[in-house]
């Protein structure tokens, strides 16, 4: 079967089929390129997200380390305050118990 265009030379079915096949292959190649470009864009985006995640993880880790250090410092302060309070308690009980004798000794009297 011959296809005529404007009375010109005919193109055989085989030539037309081959031309359409080449055209379809080219369209497929272009689609693959677009898909490849999209995949590359997605890969770049995922890499960017990964970098930001790593940076945020480092920041969170740093903050976590600081919080741990503050907790340790807070515990240390509580222990020191407890020791100081116990010392004041002992001093207060000694003053209450022996304060009168201490005052007589300091004033030059007998205990």
Predicted confidence at residue 111, as pLDDT, reads: 55
Quote the Cα angle for 95-108-87, to 5°: 20
Q: Is residue 70 part of a domain?
A: yes
Q: Is residue 55 part of a domain?
A: yes
* 69: containing domain: 9-106
Whether the full predicted model's pTM is greater than 0.85, yes or no, is: no
Question: What is the spatial distance between Cα 70 and Cα 33, in angstroms, rounded to a whole number?
Answer: 55
2 pairs with which residues across the strands? 12
Q: Which two tokens stand for residue 22?
A: 């080449």
Task: Quickly count: other Cβ atoms within 10 Å of residue 28's Cβ.
Answer: 10
Predicted confidence at residue 83, as pLDDT, reads: 92
Q: Is residue 1 part of a domain?
A: no
Q: Is residue 98 part of a domain?
A: yes
Predicted confidence at residue 67, as pLDDT, reads: 93
Domain count of the chain?
Answer: 1
pLDDT in tens, 12-66: 888 888 888 888 888 888 888 888 788 888 888 888 888 888 888 889 999 999 9
- List CB contacts of 1: < 8 A, sequence separation 6 or more: 12, 13
pLDDT in tens, 52-90: 888 888 899 999 999 999 999 999 999 999 999 999 888
Q: Is residue 21 part of a domain?
A: yes
């Amino acid at each position: 079967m011959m296809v005529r265009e404007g009375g010109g030379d005919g193109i055989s079915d085989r030539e037309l089929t081959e031309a359409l096949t080449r055209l379809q292959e080219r369209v497929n190649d272009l689609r693959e390129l677009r898909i490849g470009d999209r995949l590359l864009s997605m890969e770049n985006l995922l890499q960017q997200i990964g970098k930001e995640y790593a940076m945020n993880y480092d920041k969170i880790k740093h903050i976590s380390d600081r919080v741990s250090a503050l907790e340790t410092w807070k515990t240390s302060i509580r222990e020191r305050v407890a020791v100081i309070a116990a010392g004041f308690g002992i001093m207060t009980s000694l003053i209450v118990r022996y304060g009168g004798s201490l005052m007589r000794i300091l004033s030059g009297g007998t205990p």
